[in-house]
A and B are shown apart, each in its own frame.
Chain A
Amino acid sequence: MIERLDQIFVLLKHWLLGYLPESWQTPVGVIISVACIVGLYPALFAVTTVLERKGVGRIQNRLGPNRVGPYGILQPMADGIKSLTKEDIVPTSADAVVHFLAPIILVVTVFMGFAVLPMGRNMVLVDMDAGLLFYFAMGASTELSVFMAGWSSRNKYSLLGAMRAVAQMISYEVALLLSSVVIVMMTGSLSLVKIVEAQNHYSYGLPHWFIFTPWGFAAFIMYAIAGTAETNRSPFDLPEGESELVAGYHTEYSGFKFALFFLGEYVAMFSISGLGSTLFLGGWMAPVSWLQVVPSWIWFFCKLFVSMCVFIWLRGTLPRLRQDQLMNFAWKFVLPMCLLNLFVAGLWRFMGEGWLRWLVCSAILILAYLSIGREGMRRKRFGPRSYRYAE
């Protein structure tokens, strides 16, 4: 029974495919899975928007939306209807084709990432050997659509936003990759399914998630920072900083295209959170061995929910960074820590079992954190400014 519940979606799909001739089964199976993913995440997006607005409201001691439906839970419906019925404006001087393609490419590339994410035991669309690589390739192409949007709008705010976005995403892409590389080093595989399997054992009822190791914890922190920056979330929401650049790269978008950008951003958050929980939090694994009776996909979505809550919590807490702070942080703190973490992971691998490697690896990381944090991130004290003017 427990097994059946755990595999319910897989079994359902097989049962449906059983009615089809052999040659049809593979393509139709893929279409069914894709349809599920494409249907599920926008629904989660709708729930998350209202959750975010309520949550941030509570953080600011407000009520948040409470007019549409009981407790405002039907707010996303109203928003959806509004954005669908709004006029779709394309600026006269905009590059119409690119302007049209940008949101589509964003949404498509963002959804592509889910192809390799295991959402439960045996619940993965494509068990690709180079799954992680594929994921990062797809994640990196969102930069393209952001820049397309900013460039084609022919608006200086859009362009500034797009420039910022590209600078930021490329900087943090490096950190994102380097923080995930330690996982590949430890598991020896780029397949996300294998990475989850590698964490799938318990000792004393506690799981062997990679976050519970010094290098895994450090990598997780770096991954979380880089992932937040990668999805343009607060406090790294400079590309769409509404106080400086009307809405950044999607200033010139309205109606459904704007909704697509919004959707793309949230789905990218889901996807980054999903990958984060796959790499560091054991994917679809239960947090304690006796909770394995609960179906695996429930655990995956629980982890997704928790990380969305953290995203919202961070958004309600932190003010936006300045552009120079953003770049300094990426290149002077996150990147050195990631590189050091590669070394620490290697050390961990070759020091063998025992408490000594715990001590050594933790000490190295904590010392590095403290010293880089103190020296690298020290506030610059500038002297009085002097200006020289052309005569």
Chain B
Amino acid sequence: MLGDGILKGLAETAKNFAGSFVSKERMTTVEYPEERLPLPEAARNFPFLVYDGDDWEKGLRCVACQICEKECPPKCIYIEKSKDKKPDYVGKPQIYPAKFDIDISVCMSCQICVEVCPFEAIKMNTEFELATDDRFGGLLLDRKQLARSNEYYHEIHPTEADEVDARLAAEKAKVEAKAKAAAEAAATKAAAAPTGTPAPASKPAASPEPQPASADKPAEVAKAPAAATAPAAPKPVPGTGTDGPAPMSADDKKNAETPAKTNEGEPKA
């Protein structure tokens, strides 16, 4: 009959209309600013820099190797290497980024920087409310704005962060074991030949380059002490820096200077 389709349609819409007041399942709307859906674990949009510990500047994993800068397809990363060094997570002195900027207006969220980073220092963030009224400055994030703690990383990508932590721990354990073995070897060697170089033992934080040893074995030995003292090395740093909170609030230039001083003091002593 002509028109029964219309009646059926009207019944259906009436059911929808009435049902939307009664059943919660029908109303799928999430009223965004007030309520929000949990983000899926694989969510990502822009990169951030991971740091360990409490101090974002000291704990930054990035060693300014600039691989990400080179690999970035739209070239949105800008890194300036530091002149001095600071110990990394295993305690090895590394240079760090004096400047690390990402222009998120250019970034295309490809995650290539994350994939190429050998230091697990750059990861993808899930933050998406990045709208700003400052077209140029507001979208250019510096390293302070990019820095997020490892705990935050665990929060947003738990599985991935666990994997990363396990990998880092394994690496650290390996380095430590090697250092121990090397230290033992050095100790036995030292015991056997007391005229050997005492430098590695007395100068724990010394960088590997100034080591006078030219043979292949001493070179390894030279590296080892630096690693062996790793757990101890980060401790004196906050200890000496009594003005601990100061670098947090200071601007980048000052930030670059303060660690330089503390680092200078140690290796040259």
Contacts and interface: CB of A to CB of B under 8 A. Distances in A.
Interface of A: 55, 58-63, 66, 313-314, 316-318, 333, 369-370, 372-374, 377
A313 B15 CA distance: 11
B20 A318 contact: no
Contact of A369 (B2, B13, B31): B2
Nearest to A329: B2
Residues of A contacting B: mostly: helix
Interface residues of B, number: 19
A321 B115 CA distance: 54
A317 B3 CA distance: 13
B20 A317 contact: no
Contacts of B16: 58-61
B132 interface: no
Interface stretch (B4-12, B95-103, B218-226): B4-12
Contacts of A377: 2
Instruction: Give the 3 A-B residue pairs with the shortest CB-CB distance, closest first.
Output: A373-B2, A317-B13, A317-B9
19 contacts: A55-B17, A58-B16, A58-B21, A60-B16, A61-B16, A61-B20, A61-B28, A62-B29, A313-B13, A313-B17, A314-B10, A316-B13, A316-B17, A317-B6, A317-B9, A317-B12, A333-B2, A369-B2, A372-B2
Contacts of A59: 13, 16-17, 20
B167 interface: no
Contacts of B3: 373
A380 to B, nearest CB: 15
Contacts of A373: 1-3
Nearest to A370: B1
Nearest to B15: A59
Most buried by B among A62, A370, A372, A374: A62
Given A59-B13, A63-B29, A318 B6 contact: yes
Nearest to B18: A58
B9 to A, nearest CB: 5
Contacts of B9: 317-318
Residues of B contacting A: mostly: helix
Contacts of B17: 55, 58-59, 313, 316
B14 A61 contact: no
Contacts of A370: 1-2
Nearest to A316: B13
A75 to B, nearest CB: 16
A58 B20 contact: yes
A313 B14 contact: yes
B4 to A, nearest CB: 10
A234 B34 CA distance: 34
Contacts of A60: 16
A334 to B, nearest CB: 11
Contacts of B1: 370, 373-374
Given A313-B10, A317-B9, A373-B2, 19 more contacts: A55-B17, A58-B16, A58-B17, A59-B13, A59-B16, A61-B19, A62-B27, A63-B27, A63-B29, A66-B31, A313-B13, A314-B10, A317-B13, A318-B9, A333-B2, A373-B1, A373-B3, A374-B1, A377-B2
B189 interface: no
Given A59-B17, A317-B13, A374 B29 contact: no
A317 B10 contact: yes
Most buried by A among B1, B2, B16: B2
B7 to A, nearest CB: 10
Contacts of A313: 10, 13-14, 17
A44 to B, nearest CB: 21
A120 to B, nearest CB: 30
Most buried by B among A58, A66, A313, A314: A58
B26 interface: yes
B251 to A, nearest CB: 40
A106 B132 CA distance: 44
Most buried by B among A61, A314, A373: A61
